[in-house]
A and B are shown apart, each in its own frame.
Chain A
Amino acid sequence: MAEKLLDWNEVLIGATIKDPGNSRSYETGSWRVERPVWNPDECIQCMFCWVYCPDSSILVDENGKMTGIDYDHCKGCGICVEQCPKKSKALTMLLEADAKGKSEEEIRKEAFSK
């Protein structure tokens, strides 16, 4: 956190936190070694990935449909890939090292070609 931490006489009493859900600003995506890669063409929108994701990192639209992965928070556990009924066709894992510097398109190609 780059901003200045509060002094003792500035903190809210009782260590109370008044900003619900502010942990979203803490990005756990950097923990990742591998990333899940999504192929929308194969996705059947069963939402199993959403219901099993420990990090609420399956992005959904206003219709409750999956639109992608929140790489700012996804820790790369791989549960979504394991639970995806499409057996590595709609979701698969790729090493972060292999994704580095590549476009979304290139990453998808790389991931699903394996």
Chain B
Amino acid sequence: MALLNDLAKKKEGLVNGHRLCPGCTHSVIMRQALAAADTDKYDIVIAAATGCFEVSTGLYPYTSWNVPWIHSAFENAASTIAGVEAMYKVWKKKGKTNKDIRFIAVASDGGTYDIGLQALSGAIERGHQFLYICNDNNAYQNTGNQRSSATPFGASTTTSPNGTIIQGKTQPKKDIMSVLEGHHMQYIAQASPSNWRDLMDKVKKALDVNGPTYINVIEPCTTGWGFPAHKAIEIAQLAVDTCVWPLYEVVEGKVVINYKPKNKLPVEEYLKPQKRFAHLFKKGNEHLIEEYQKQVDKHWEWLLKREESGISY
């Protein structure tokens, strides 16, 4: 991986003037991803799902994209990029281009875990060459923080609010990585913008696979999660250090954990700075934090065991 100084010299694929909230990490993730792409070797074409990121970077007559970019709807980033990629095969076949083009689809958890899951599954099964990046901000943030299947247990959202008898979301978060694993893809990974080098390595690896790949990225949302803008990267780092968001890869079915915190922090460290979890710290709700910790530990232990087993497809 190149030094940051070298990467900073590159022409950026995503530029400023976009309307994302101050401190939004959508653009941080995409800037890191595009910096990692080996654009001396290949060009990039992107399809985006409807969401904060899309509306903020493609607001007519403005575009923040320096690379070819298409948005069509919410649930179909994967099938849209599949179409572009199919046309690319035709261009290659007919000699209309001699370029090496790699494809990226980007969506958030709403467009991935929920409404876009079918299109994603179909496109993966068909084997199109594309990297699907899910910027997981744990809820439907573009419409104002409604719960999704990616919303973690206990989080208060506008459709899983904290109330007098129900304390936030009662169900655990969907394990999308396992759902995707079922497609037996060559490469799946989970990353965080706080660990930029790790994220960049993963993007570079994924883009070199001649087939579908997937990277799940935590995307701390200052407005939805309720933390001050300057804390965005810190929150992502806390998610990693508490093992709420383990950094790992599944390579041909084999789990590789990329980061094992020397001092695994208790989940409180991650939950405390976020308003969406504030109610968990009220007297009488201790069991909810315990439950949260239990879910995180269980998953982390399972991952460790998977890695230890060395089992692949």
Contact = CB atoms under 8 A, between A and B. Distances in A.
Interface of A: 15, 17, 19-28, 31-32, 45-48, 50-58, 60, 62-66, 70, 73, 75-79, 81-83, 93
B23 interface: yes
B4 A51 contact: yes
**Interface majority SS (helix, strand, loop, mixed), chain B:** mixed
B196 A51 contact: yes
A54 B24 contact: yes
A63 B23 CA distance: 27
B72 to A, nearest CB: 11
B63 A79 contact: no
A78 B231 CA distance: 8
B106 to A, nearest CB: 15
A62 B10 CA distance: 9
Contacts of B222: 77
Contacts of A20: 63, 65-67
Nearest to B8: A64
A79 B17 contact: no
Nearest to A48: B4
A54 B5 contact: no
B22 A24 contact: no
Interface of B: 3-9, 12, 14-20, 22-28, 31-32, 35, 57-67, 193, 196, 222, 228-234
Given A22-B62, A28-B16, A60-B9, 6 more contacts: A20-B66, A46-B4, A53-B28, A55-B22, A62-B9, A75-B22
Nearest to B197: A51
Contacts of A26: 17, 19, 62
Nearest to B10: A64
B232 A77 contact: yes
A101 B195 CA distance: 38
B221 to A, nearest CB: 12
Nearest to A70: B16
Contacts of B35: 51
9 contacts: A17-B60, A20-B66, A21-B64, A22-B61, A24-B15, A53-B28, A54-B22, A79-B229, A79-B233
Contacts of A77: 22-24, 222, 229-230, 232
Contacts of B61: 17, 22
Contacts of A24: 15-17
Nearest to B29: A54
Given A53-B28, A82-B234, A76 B22 contact: yes
A48 B28 CA distance: 12
A70 to B, nearest CB: 7
Contacts of B28: 51-54, 79
A57 B22 CA distance: 12
A82 B63 contact: no
B53 to A, nearest CB: 11
A82 B22 contact: no
Nearest to A76: B22
A1 to B, nearest CB: 9
Nearest to B12: A56
Contact of B17 (A27, A52, A78, A83): A27
Contacts of A47: 4-5, 8
A78 B227 CA distance: 13
Contacts of A64: 3-9
A31 B64 contact: no
Contacts of A50: 4, 8
